[in-house]
């Protein structure tokens, strides 16, 4: 994936899965450190305990970490430690998690990532009801960056953008296609035409 993304992607969100928080295991920070990464990137930590991972992903070159509010480590501690390392911080919510779960610390993070799939499986189906959370997050903090992640493809991208999100994370709609670079350009153009900020 890294060599492909180096060709066309200015920014990438790298999914980190521990086999505990989600059933799959993915790349580790040490593996990323050995890669020739030419794009800016953030680490989406789908892990039960984000705290032990922060320093290693900073060393690997991540500009921001996104942790899950459902993780076992206390959110305030994750935010404090990430900030002390000079990292940006975002928080992710799984589909069943209410927006109220982040209300007490939303002012301390840079972004909110709404999972539009049940995480852990590449190509999982889109959960459209999650899009209702966008307006709830905006009501809590109008200026925050809101992203959505999972199950987003050419067919539903315009509708997703229409909810007023700032970023859209795609995986299989790019890397699962015969020509990932062309798919990336096509989806980027479609997002801009649909009014993405």
List the 11-17 sheet strands across, edge first. 11-17, 40-46, 64-68, 88-93, 111-115, 145-149, 167-169
Active-site residue list? 15, 149
Three-state secondary structure string covering the chain: CHHHHHHHCCEEEEEEEECCCCCCECCCHHHHHCCCCCCEEEEEEECCCCHHHHHHHHHHCCCEEEEECCCCCCHHHHHHHHHHCCCEEEEEECCCCCHHHHCCCHHHCCEEEEECCCCCCCCCCCCHHHHHHHHHHHHHCCCCEEEEECCCCCCCHHHHHCCCCCEEECCHHHHCCCCHHHHHHHHHHHHHHCCCC
Cα(119)–Cα(59) distance, integer angstroms: 25
């Amino acid at each position: 994936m890294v060599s492909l993304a180096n060709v066309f992607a200015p920014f990438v969100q790298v999914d980190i899965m521990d086999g505990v928080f989600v059933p799959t295991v993915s790349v580790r920070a040490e593996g990323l450190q050995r890669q020739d990464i030419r794009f800016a990137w953030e680490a989406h930590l789908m892990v039960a305990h984000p705290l032990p991972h922060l320093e290693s992903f900073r060393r690997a070159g991540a500009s921001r970490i996104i942790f899950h509010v459902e993780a076992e480590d206390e959110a305030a501690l994750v935010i404090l430690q990430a900030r002390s390392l000079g990292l940006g911080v975002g928080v992710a919510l799984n589909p069943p998690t209410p927006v109220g779960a982040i209300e007490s610390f939303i002012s301390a993070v840079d972004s909110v990532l709404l999972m539009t799939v049940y995480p852990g499986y590449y190509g999982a189906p889109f959960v459209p009801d999650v899009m209702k959370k966008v307006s709830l997050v905006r009501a809590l903090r109008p200026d925050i960056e809101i992203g959505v992640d999972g199950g987003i493809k050419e067919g539903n991208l315009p509708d997703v953008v229409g909810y007023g999100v700032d970023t859209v994370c795609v995986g299989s709609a790019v890397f699962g296609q015969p020509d990932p670079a062309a798919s990336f350009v096509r989806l980027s153009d479609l997002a801009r035409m649909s009014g993405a900020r």
